[in-house]
Amino acid sequence: MEPGLDSLKQEILGELRASGFALFFSESRHANPEHAIFWDASAHPDFRAFLSCARMLGISLVVMHAMTFREDDVEDALQDLEESAVEEEEKQEMTVTLREMNAFSGLVGSLDLSFDFQGNTYFYYLEADWYREFLDLRDEIDLMDMGEGFENGPDEPMGGYFSKN
């Protein structure tokens, strides 16, 4: 797989236009996964099969979101890492890894197509391996921050924000 999904994005755009689909560019629609159904892109990676399914259902509108990775994403992660409770040695390793990820700035890290049908949203979703690594690092940093409030145990209130009522 290429470092980014840029050429695949261009290929998908060409196919959508050639197939007569109306194309709507959107922010990510993953926020409400309650009625989301994801295409098994690892077993069936060809996006054309996903679009063929949409066409057979009579779908005319396909939504596309492509997340372009930015240096700001790395800077935000580094800031959060600096303020986190991650051990110093691990923090240094993560800092090096995050800084190396600046090489991917400007590339598409994740790409999704979606359409709505009978109350469900159907997704075709891909992410670059390096972007998955970035998200995993972000999750690790966030988990370390969340763990800070539990020094006295998970049942203890954190700074007066929780009540035992």
Taking the chain (165 residues) in runs of 10, the rounded mean pLDDT of each run is 81 95 92 87 96 97 96 95 90 95 96 96 95 94 67 48 46
pLDDT for 65 equals 96
Report the interhelical angle of 88-100 vs 71-82 (nearest 10°): 170
pLDDT for 160 equals 46
Helices (H) and strands (E) in the chain, counts: 5, 5
Distance CA 100, CA 114 (A): 32
Distance CA 89, CA 39 (A): 40
Q: Is the dihedral of CA 92, 93, 94, 98 positive or negative?
A: positive
pLDDT for 153 equals 46
pLDDT for 2 equals 54
pLDDT for 4 equals 76
User: Residue 108 in 3-state DSSP?
Assistant: strand
**Helices marked H in the chain — which ranges?**
6-19, 47-56, 71-82, 88-100, 129-147
Pull the structure tokens for residue 1: 């797989």
Q: Which residue has the tokens 């890290």?
A: 109
